[in-house]
């Protein structure tokens, strides 16, 4: 027996529907029947993965078998999960990477939460208290960016949302952005924190906007271009400015639960800009890569 999955083509040129063996869970893992998955930009880099690799990391569904060690949710519980190789009909997930989803939340919306939500939440948390601080979110029209805008506003920050074009900035003010700018135009005061998804020359330009003691959280590199810092541009009088990497997606269950609670109370809105059956994954991937999706792209697993 096996289960359907989305895997890397034999020539690593793209992705296809395939079949993999039924997952065999460890004692600390629950088996989850997947209903929906969501796409992140990193999932599209099939050229760096071996042929046959099961893609994805964001999923939601229903527990089919509880963890043998007695931990985690019971059979039948609706859950959201972070799990490498999540784009399959059934997956084994550590209970530390699961959170229960109440009936008030659509499972399709829940599937959009894991990587984008955890990234936004943990990079903001790493900066310390943000109440009254100026926070710049670049690439703010994407899945991570839209969640970061909301969470930063929820934390009391003055939020500046940077987008590629004015059209891509639509709706960000309603999510809590105090300023919406194209590129970095119009930012005339220093900022305390930057969540950067763009990289390249814009990262260099954003660095020059940092106030003393400010921090850049480098989350993504959508530009695909190198960042070349001019000589002495990293020197400044006063408290040190810092550039931090991010890649911490371990033991995300408690943070997933926190994000679910925010959605349930209306403090966080999940925006799904593309949704369709998972056999249309290449169509969804093209739309996401072409920046034609506001928010997240979600696939319904049949």
Domain boundaries, the chain: 2-113+270-300, 116-245
Q: How far apart are CA 20 and CA 17, in angstroms?
A: 10
pLDDT of the residue at 194 = 98
pLDDT of the residue at 289 = 86
Write down the pTM of the prediction.
0.93
Instruction: Of 76, 114, 122, 117, give the one whose Cα is nearest residue 98.
Output: 114
pLDDT of the residue at 232 = 94
Q: At what angle do helices 114-126 and 253-265 cross, to 10 degrees?
A: 100
pLDDT of the residue at 247 = 83
Instruction: Of 58, 40, 68, 147, give the one whose Cα is nearest residue 97.
Output: 58
pLDDT of the residue at 127 = 86
| pLDDT < 70 regions, the chain | none
Q: Judging by beta carbons within 10 Å of its beta carbon (0-12, 13-18, 19+), is residue 131 exposed, middle or buried? A: exposed
Local structure of 144: helix, strand or coil: helix
Measured over the CA atoms of residue 136, residue 139, residue 142 and residue 143, the dihedral's sign is negative
pLDDT of the residue at 185 = 87
- Model confidence pLDDT, tens digit, residues 68-87: 999 999 999 999 999 999 99
Q: Which two tokens stand for residue 3?
A: 């289960």
pLDDT of the residue at 93 = 97
- Model confidence pLDDT, tens digit, residues 6-39: 999 887 778 899 999 999 999 999 999 999 999 9
Give the Cα-Cα-Cα angle 258, 260, 263 (nearest 5 degrees): 115
Residues 6+ apart with CB under 8 A from 84: 57
Domain 2-113+270-300: CATH architecture, name and number where available: Alpha-Beta Complex (3.90)
What class has domain 116-245? alpha beta
Instruction: Of 180, 181, 58, 190, give the one whose Cα is nearest residue 118.
Output: 58
């Amino acid at each position: 027996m096996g289960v359907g999955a989305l895997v890397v083509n034999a020539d690593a040129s793209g992705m296809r529907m395939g079949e993999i063996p039924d997952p065999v869970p460890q004692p600390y893992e629950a088996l989850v029947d997947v209903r929906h998955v969501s796409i992140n930009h990193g999932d599209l880099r099939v050229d760096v993965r071996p042929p046959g690799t099961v893609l994805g990391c964001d999923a939601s569904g229903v527990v089919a078998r509880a963890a043998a060690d007695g931990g985690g949710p019971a059979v039948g519980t609706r859950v959201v999960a972070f799990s490498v190789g999540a784009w399959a009909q059934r997956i084994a997930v550590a209970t530390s990477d699961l959170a229960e989803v109440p009936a008030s939340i659509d499972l399709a919306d829940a599937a959009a939460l894991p990587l984008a939500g955890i990234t936004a939440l943990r990079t903001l948390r790493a900066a310390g208290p943000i109440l009254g601080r100026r926070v710049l979110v670049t690439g703010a029209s994407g899945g991570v960016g839209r969640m970061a805008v909301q969470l930063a506003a929820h934390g009391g920050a003055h939020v500046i949302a940077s987008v590629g074009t004015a059209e891509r900035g639509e709706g960000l003010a309603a999510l809590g952005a105090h300023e919406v700018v194209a590129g970095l135009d119009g930012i005339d005061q220093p900022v305390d924190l930057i969540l950067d998804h763009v990289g390249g020359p814009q990262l260099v330009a954003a660095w020059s906007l940092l106030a003393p003691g400010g921090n850049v959280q480098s989350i993504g590199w959508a530009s695909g271009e190198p960042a070349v810092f001019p000589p002495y541009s990293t020197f400044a009088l006063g408290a040190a400015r810092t550039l931090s990497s991010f890649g911490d997606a371990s033991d995300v269950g408690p943070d997933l639960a926190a994000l679910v609670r925010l959605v349930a109370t209306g403090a966080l809105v999940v925006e799904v800009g593309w949704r369709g059956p998972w056999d249309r994954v290449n169509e969804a991937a093209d739309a996401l890569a072409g920046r034609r999706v506001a928010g997240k792209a979600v696939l319904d697993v049949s």
